[in-house]
Structure 1
Amino acid sequence: MAPTNHYLVSGSAPIVGRAFEAAAHQAPADDTGTAAPRQPAPVLPFVDRILDYQAGASITVARRLALDTDLFLADHNFVHAPGIKPLRECYPVVPMTGSLELMAEAAACLTPGYGLLGFENVTARRWIAVSDNGELALTVKGQVEQGHEQVDHRRIAVEVLAGPAHESMIASTVLLGTRYAAPPPAQPVLPPAGTTVDAGQLYADRHLFHGPRFQCLHGPLHVGPDGLHGQLRVRPTQDWFAFSDHPQLLCDPGLLDTIGQLIAVWSMQDGSSAFPVGLGRLDFHGPTPAAGSILPVTIRITGRQLKMISADVDIGDGAGGVWLRVAGWRSWQFKWAPELVALQRHPSRRLLSETRTLAGPDRDIGYQWLAAQTIAGFDLALLARHYLRAEEMIEFDAKAHYPQRQLEWLLGRVAAKDAARAWSARTANTDLDLHPAAFAIRNDPHGQPVVASWPAPVPVPRISIAHSHGVAVAIAAGAPVGIDIESVAEHDAHWLASFTTEGERRQLAAYGAPERAAWITRLWCAKEAFGKRLGLGLHRPARDVEACAWADDHGLRMRHIPDGACADVRTLRDGDFIVAIDSPMHTHDNKEQS
C-alpha cells in the first residue's frame, strides 16, 4: 500500500522534508506573474502509518515492505536467477543505507522543521530481507535523546524492528538540525595506486551484484593497499517506488551504498568479500547533488581487526568541496572459497563442487565431490536459495532442527545438481549453461533421488547421491547409476556380520589389519552403490548383495542373489574415504549362474 499522510494532530502533517530545502518544491511564478503548475508534493516513502506519537519525545512508525511497490528491491538481491526464480525467492534485501533513510524519515516526523544532518553509531544486526511471500512488516521506533536538546539540533535514537517477533535489525542516532555545518577541508587524494579497475566492468562481470538503481560507481577506480579513490554518478530516484515518482528521500541510499561497494572492491585484492555492518559517524554538508552529477570519492582504510574493516570516507560535492564525510565505516570481511564466489557471480556457468574422474579405463567417468569446508562461513540458507526451487526449500527448512542432517542433505543436493548440469553439458557438447534452480531433485517412492522439471534439450539424467562426515558425492548418467562414500574406520564383528555373507567374511580375514579395514569399507560402499543402481530401495537386506569376485585394482564383482543381476563396482580411496561407483558401463547383461 502506498504511504499516505497521517496527521499527528489536527493541521500538523508528519511528513516533513528538510525545511531549508522546502523552497525548492514551491512553484515559482513565470514572467507574467502566473504561478507555474505545481509538481506533485514530495512524499516520505518509508512512512506509512504512525502508530504512536508523543510530541517532542517519541514516535512509532509502521511500514510494510512489498516487492510490487518497493521497486528498488529488484536491484538489491543476493541470488542471481533471472527468468528462473521469482524475485521473492532471490533474497531481496534492504541495503544498510536504505535502512538509514528509513530511520531518518521517522526521525524527521518527530522533529518538524529540522532537516537531516547525519547519523551516529549505526549498528546493523541482521539483513532486512523480504520474505518469500513478497512482504515484510517493519516497525520503526524513534525517541528524542534527553540531555542533548539544542535550539538548532536534535538527536533521535531510532531502531528498526521486523516481523511479528519484532526482531531488532538496525539502530542509529539520527542527527537533525536547521542548517548544515560548514564543510571540512578536503583530504588530499591518495597517491596513484598500482591497480585500476573499471566500474562498468565490475557491474557487467557481476563482481558487484547490484542492479541499475545502485550502479553509481563511475569510470576508473584506483585501488591501493590503504584505500581507493574514484568517481560516483548520482542517479535519479523517481523509479524507486511504484506509488510515487517524486519521493522525498532525505538521503540518497543508492549513492551511499557505493561506499560499501567500494570497500568490497578493495577487499577483492586478496580474494575476500565485504558487507557493511555499521559506521561511527556520517555528516552531510549540503543537499544531495542533482542527478547526473559526477562526484569524487576517497576511501581510506583505517583498520583491520579480525574480520572487521574500518574506513574513513569523503565524497565531494563536484565543485571542490566536501559533501559527505564518514568516520569509522565498518564492513565485515568474508574469506570464501573461490568456487563459492564464482558461483554467486554466474550460477549457470559455474559448479560449486569439484569434478573428479577415475583412472585407467574408467577415465571417462566423473563424479562430483563437495566438502563442508568449501562453504565454511557462508550462510547455509542463502546457499540453498542459489540451488533449490521453492518445493525443495520446504524440505531444506524442515531439517532446520537437525543442523548436521540439513548440512549433509544440502551438500548432496548441490553435488547432484552439479553432476546433472555437468553431464548435460558433456552430452550436448556445449559449455555449462544451466542454472541449478532450473530443475528439482525429488525422491521416488523407494527413496531414490530423481531429477524433475528437467529443462535441458538432452534426456533426463539418472543420478545417485551419497554423503558421509561432511562430504557429499554425486554422479549422473544416461542410465541408472550408483555411488556411495564412507570413511575408513575399524568396526566390530557384530557390525560386520550384519551386512556380510560367510564367504565375504572368509575373504576379508585374509587381509592384514590396515588393509582389512579399508576392504570392509570398500565392500560396504560397493553394496550400497550396486543397490542404488538397481533401485532396490533404502531398506533392502544387505546380505542379498554379495561380492563374488575381488580384483587387485580394488574393484568388486557384485551379484544380487535373488535375481542374479551382476555388475563390476569400482572402488577408490580418496583421503580418509572410500568411494564406490557402479556405472552403466559396468553392468553385465548376462546373469551369473549360481
Structure 2
Amino acid sequence: MHEVRTVAADGIEGVIRALPDPGALLDAAGQLFGHWMQLRLPVDRLVFPATVDRIRFHGPPPAPHALLSVTARVREVRDVTVRGDLELCDAAGRVWARIDGWTYRRFGADERVWPMKFTPEVCGIGEPQPAGWCLARRRWTDPASQELVMRRYLGAAERAAYERLAPRARAPWLLGRIAAKDALRQLLWDGGAGPVFPVEVPVGNDPSGRPVVGGALAAGVRLSIAHKDRLAVAIVHPGRRVGIDVEPVTADPGALIRVALTPDELRLAEELAARDATGLPAALTALWCAKEAAAKAHGTGLGGRPRDWRVTDDPGSGPGSLRVASPDRRGGPSYPVRTAPLPEDHVVAWTAHPAAPSPVPSHLMETSHDHHR
C-alpha cells in the first residue's frame, strides 16, 4: 500500500505498489478495499476476502515496484458481506485490470473484539471488574466469528479440547476460557508484567475437573470459572482458594426454595429483596450462587446437599455481601461472598478477597519477555 487518497461513503481511492511476488498486486488492491470497511463500517469490521465474480486484464503485468491507482466502489453492504468492484490503472491512466463482484465476509467484531484482533498481547475480550473477577460476554453471532476468536485465545492443547466438545458446548466453554485468561492476564499486568498473549496462560483441568492454570507465567495462581447462557465469569488469586458462580434469575422461585434454601435463608432473601429492591427471585438466586461459589472455593462442590451450606447476611462488608458456612463437621471455614446483578438478567457471586490481599509472587511480576529470554 503506497497511499490512501480519498475515502467516501461509497468507495475508496488509493495507490498501490506492484511487488514481484505473484498475486501480491491484486492482494494489495483488496487490502485497499478492505480498508474502506475498517474505516466506514460501524460494527463487524473484521473482514476476509471470500469470492470474486470476474477479473479482466487489459495488459501485461506491471513491472515490479510500479505504482498503480485503484478505485474501489462499494455496491452492496449486508449483515455478513460487503461487495464491490475495483479498477486498477497504470501511471498513464490506462486501465490495467477490472475486478467485478469482489465479496468480503464480515465477522463479529465489536469495540472489544476489534482491538484484540490487532494487539491480543495487551488487550482482551473480557471485562475485568474492580472486585478482581472478569466477565466475558458472547460477542459473536455465527460459528465463523467464534472460530476467529478461538484462534486468538487457545493454544494447541486447548484447541484439541475445544474440538472434542459437542458443537453446542463449544461457545460457553470458550467464553469460560476467555474470562479465565483475561483475569489471569489482568493479574499479571497489575503486577508489572509486559505484554502477555492469551496462549501464554493455558488453562486446563485437574483429574476432578477443576480448572487449573498451566505454563510458567502464572504458576500457582488459583482459578475458578463459571458460565451460563451467553455469559462467563472467572476469578483468580495468587494464593487463596477462590470460587465464582453465575446463574440466570430463577423463573421458578418455589422450586429453588424447596431444593436449596432453609426457612432462615428464605427470610434473608425476603429482607434482601426489600432492602436492595432487587425482587425476590433475584435475591433467591443470589443466595444459590453464593452457596455455589463458596463450595467451589472449599474444593468439594455442593455435593448434592445445598441446604447444608448456610448463608447469612454480612452487611458490614458492603452491598451484596454474604457469608457462607461450610457443612464440614470439623469446624470448617466460612466464606465471605459478594453478589451482584449482571446483564441479561443474571446474578454473579464470588468469594471476596481480603482487604489486604496476598502480595503477588515475584515470578508473576516478571515480564513475559524476561521469562522467555
Q: C-alpha distance in 2, partners of 1:411/1:515? A: 28
Q: TM-score, normalised by structure 1?
A: 0.54
Q: Displacement, 1:582?
A: 0.4
Q: Displacement, 1:391?
A: 1.2
Q: Paired residue for 2:14? A: 230
Q: Paired residue for 1:386? A: 152
Q: Quick one: which of 270, 274, 278 aligns to 2:41?
A: 270
User: Within 5 A, what are the aligned runs for 1:18-167?
Assistant: none
Quick check: which has more Rg, 1 or 2?
1
| Secondary structure class of the residue paired with 1:454 | coil
Q: C-alpha distance in 2, partners of 1:460/1:219? A: 50
User: Within 5 A, what are the aligned runs for 1:223-372?
Assistant: 223-237=7-21, 252-268=22-38, 269-271=40-42, 272-305=45-78, 307-334=80-107, 336-357=109-130, 365-372=131-138
Kindly indicate whether the alpha-carbon contact (under 8 Å) linking 2:253 and 2:281 is maintained by their aligned counterparts in 1.
no
Q: Displacement, 1:515?
A: 3.1
Q: Displacement, 1:218?
A: 1.4
Q: C-alpha distance in 1, partners of 2:111/2:270? A: 45
Q: Paired residue for 1:398? A: 164
Amino acid at match of 2:340: L
1:496 aligned onto 2:264 = no
C-alpha deviations, 1:192-244, integer Å up to 9, x for none?
A: xxxxxxxxxxxxxxxxxxxxxxxxx113443222222221112123xxxxxxx
Distance 1:306 1:573, change over 3 A: closer
Q: Displacement, 1:368?
A: 1.3
Q: C-alpha distance in 1, partners of 2:353/2:326? A: 16
User: Within 5 A, what are the aligned runs for 1:409-448?
Assistant: 409-428=173-192, 430=193, 433-448=195-210
Kindly indicate whether the alpha-carbon contact (under 8 Å) linking 1:411 and 1:472 is maintained by their aligned counterparts in 2.
yes
Kindly indicate whether the alpha-carbon contact (under 8 Å) linking 2:108 and 2:140 is maintained by their aligned counterparts in 1.
no
Q: TM-score, normalised by structure 2?
A: 0.83
Q: C-alpha distance in 2, partners of 1:220/1:304? A: 21
Kindly indicate whether the alpha-carbon contact (under 8 Å) linking 1:446 and 1:535 is maintained by their aligned counterparts in 2.
no
Q: Displacement, 1:441?
A: 0.7
Q: C-alpha distance in 2, partners of 1:274/1:407? A: 21
Q: Paired residue for 2:336? A: 568
1:451 aligned onto 2:216 = no
Equivalent pairs, count:
343
Kindly indicate whether the alpha-carbon contact (under 8 Å) linking 1:389 and 1:439 is maintained by their aligned counterparts in 2.
no
Distance 1:548 1:280, change over 3 A: closer
Kindly indicate whether the alpha-carbon contact (under 8 Å) linking 1:446 and 1:538 is maintained by their aligned counterparts in 2.
no
Q: Quick one: which of 213, 219, 222 aligns to 2:3?
A: 219
User: Once the two structures are aligned, what percentage of the paired residues are identical?
Assistant: 32
Q: C-alpha distance in 2, partners of 1:221/1:463? A: 50
Distance 1:569 1:229, change over 3 A: same
- Select the structure that is richer in helix: 2
CA RMSD of aligned residues (A): 2.6
1:534 aligned onto 2:294 = no
C-alpha deviations, 1:256-289, integer Å up to 9, x for none?
A: 1123211211112234233323233211112211
1:484 aligned onto 2:255 = no
Q: Displacement, 1:487?
A: 1.4
Q: C-alpha distance in 2, partners of 1:485/1:306? A: 31
Amino acid at match of 1:310: R
Q: Paired residue for 2:370? A: none
Q: C-alpha distance in 2, partners of 1:503/1:302? A: 65
Kindly indicate whether the alpha-carbon contact (under 8 Å) linking 1:419 and 1:476 is maintained by their aligned counterparts in 2.
yes
Kindly indicate whether the alpha-carbon contact (under 8 Å) linking 1:368 and 1:418 is maintained by their aligned counterparts in 2.
yes
Q: Paired residue for 1:376? A: 141
Which one has more relative contact order, counting CA pairs under 8 Å at least 6 apart? Answer: 2
Distance 1:436 1:452, change over 3 A: same
